Amino acid sequence: MRRLAAAALGAFASLAAVADEIPQAERRSGFDAMSAETRAMQVDDTANPGLLWVQDGADLWTRAPASGRPACAGCHGEAATLRGVAARYPAFDEASGAAIDLQGRINHCRREHQGDPPYGHESRELLALSAYLGFQSRGLPIAPPRDPRLDPARAQGAALFRERIGQLGLSCAACHDDNHGRRLGAATIPQGHPTGYPLYRLEWQGLGSVQRRLRNCMTGMRAEPFAYGSAEFVALERYLMDRAAPLPIETPAVRP
Amino acid sequence: MRRTGPHETAGKATRLVLTAGCLLAVDASFAGATDTRRPPIAIVGDAIPAPLTDTPGDPARGRAIVADRTRGLCLLCHAGPIPEERFQGDLGPDLSGAGSRHTAGQLRLRLVDGRALNPDTIMPSYHRVDPSPRVGAAWRGKPVLEAQEIEDVVAYLATLRDDTREGPAR
């Protein structure tokens, strides 16, 4: 009954959420629960397959788009100047008056400043560029911006995290707040911190975004996944990054 | 746990009324309630004493449903005496001895709608159409298990006595 009331009153749900949140000192990356072999694969840059996407991203960074307008580097210079950006996204986007995630920002630049059509979700190019940008922040603590204009997205994300959905009537919180560390079949349930996206998932045999991972979970809950790039996903990303801080960025992480 | 009746939730959101209503005798969200030839599913105390179907449950079929990770899904969260299935979960109690701990009627309610007993349980309600939003197209309007499947699983779980580590039906 209480959960339904909370779901019906989103604002109250987000208030209740704070009380259940994992305390900062107890936040753990999924990295910690991985086997020694998988951890070794992530930390060794010659073994981490995600580094191949990072290299592709570095190429794209300096390559002029088909429109003939400047490459990313033409405006931003060295990508290293964007160190810290991935640790604070999603951010508030003045143009749309809403939260925007890093992939949305890359595509916004591409459309507005490079005059080229946006990259498709989960395309090699978008994953490569976002991996390259995330890589610039590797090791930095996640640092949520204190922009109050992001509060609606935070509240929406917190409410979505706790909302029971799908045929099985499960929520993100039911597993990742209440049952992390336990086993769901072969998997140890992680706390669910998006510290390393885009990341190389062995199950995917490829790199994928946090939205792809969230869609996997929603399908498992027998729910209709949110659309790629939807406001719901950006809100969830904002909340998840708040919930993960100050864990360090691991992009490109490796996960089972 | 005693749950409140619909009279105490009047005026609140429709979903709340529906949720409370299902905890009494009948609710349209119980999959069986659509079959007008059968009496409505009745909860008595913490049990559903009457079988949902006229055909007695088959423990062997029940065991197969429990072991099937795309059908019963049980072993994702529970361990059980099904040694050929590796990687069993530990979110819920071990199914070993379930038949000693609970009557068939208690097992039936815990399967049909465990959330009637504990609204916060992670255990899905297997034979009511969940009121949660965003149900995937393939599952919309359907319970996780049909009535006969529930009876089969109840029959299997009832065989899991404390003195048998291995369920009889293979």
CATH number of the structural domain spanning residue A116: 1.10.760.10
Do both A101 and A215 map to the same domain?
A: no
Which of A68, A103, A136 finishes a domain?
A: A136
The answer to whether A223 contacts B124, with C-beta atoms less than 8 Å apart, is no
Which helix (H) or strand (E) is A11 found in, with range? helix A10-20
Please name the amino acid found at residue A90.
P
A227 in the same domain as A183: yes
- Rounded to the nearest integer, the mean pLDDT of chain B is 82
- Tell me if chain A has a CB within 8 Å of the CB of B2: no
CB of B125 within 8 Å of any CB in chain A? Answer: yes
**pLDDT tens-digit readout, B7-49:** 333 333 323 223 333 444 445 567 655 555 677 899 999 999 9
Q: Give the pair of three-digit tokens for residue B13.
A: 């959101």
* Number of domains chain B is built from: 1
How confident is the model at residue A115, as a pLDDT?
A: 95
Please say whether the beta carbons of A142 and A87 come within 8 A. Answer: yes
The pLDDT value given to residue A64: 93
Q: Is B166 within a domain?
A: no
How far apart CA B1 and CA B118 sit, in angstroms, is 7
For residue B33, the tally of other CB atoms under 10 A from its CB is: 17
Chain A positions contacting chain B at CB under 8 Å are 1-5, 8, 163-170, 174-175, 178-179, 182-186, 189, 218-219, 222-224
- Condensed to tens digits (0 to 9), the pLDDT of residues B86-126 reads 999 999 999 999 999 999 999 999 999 999 999 999 999 99
The partner residues of A100 in beta bridges, in order of sequence, read A91
Domain co-membership, A7 together with A127: no
Q: Nearest CB to A224: which of B69, B124, B134? A: B134
Q: Is A127 part of any domain?
A: yes
Residue A141: helix, strand or coil by DSSP?
Answer: strand
Q: Compute how many other C-beta atoms are within 10 angstroms of the C-beta atom of residue A153.
A: 24
For residue B38, what is the domain's CATH number?
A: 1.10.760.10
**Looking at this protein, which amino acid is placed at residue B1?**
M
| Inter-residue contact A186 to B88 (CB < 8 Å) | no
Q: Is the peptide bond before A90 cis (omega within 30 degrees of 0)?
A: yes
- The beta-carbon neighbor of B135 closest among A3, A167, A189 is A167
Report residue B129's pLDDT band, with 50, 70 and 90 as the boundaries.
confident
Q: How many domains does chain A have?
A: 2
State residue A8's pLDDT score: 41
Task: Specify the 3-state DSSP secondary structure of A150.
Answer: helix
Which helix or strand (DSSP H or E) is residue A200 part of? strand A199-201
How far apart are the C-alpha atoms of B21 and B106, rounded to whole Å?
A: 19
Half-sphere exposure of residue B5, counting CA atoms within 13 Å on the CB side? 5
User: Could you tell me if A135 and A207 are in contact, meaning their C-beta atoms sit under 8 angstroms apart?
Assistant: no
> Tokens at residue A31, please?
């990295």
Q: What is the pLDDT of residue B60?
A: 98
pLDDT along chain A (256 residues), means of 10: 42 45 94 97 98 98 94 97 98 96 97 96 98 98 97 98 97 97 95 98 98 98 98 98 98 98
Asked whether residue B163 is assigned to any structural domain, the reply reads: no
* pLDDT, mean of residues B82-87: 96
- Judge if the upstream peptide bond of residue B81 is cis by omega within 30 degrees of 0: no
Among A5-9, B43-47, B64-68, B73-77, which stretch is predicted with the lowest mean pLDDT?
Answer: A5-9
pLDDT, residue B130, reads 79
The answer to whether position B169 is within a domain reads no
Nearest CA in chain B to A172: B122
Residue A163 lies inside a defined structural domain of this protein: yes
Full domain range(s) for residue A221: 2-45+148-255
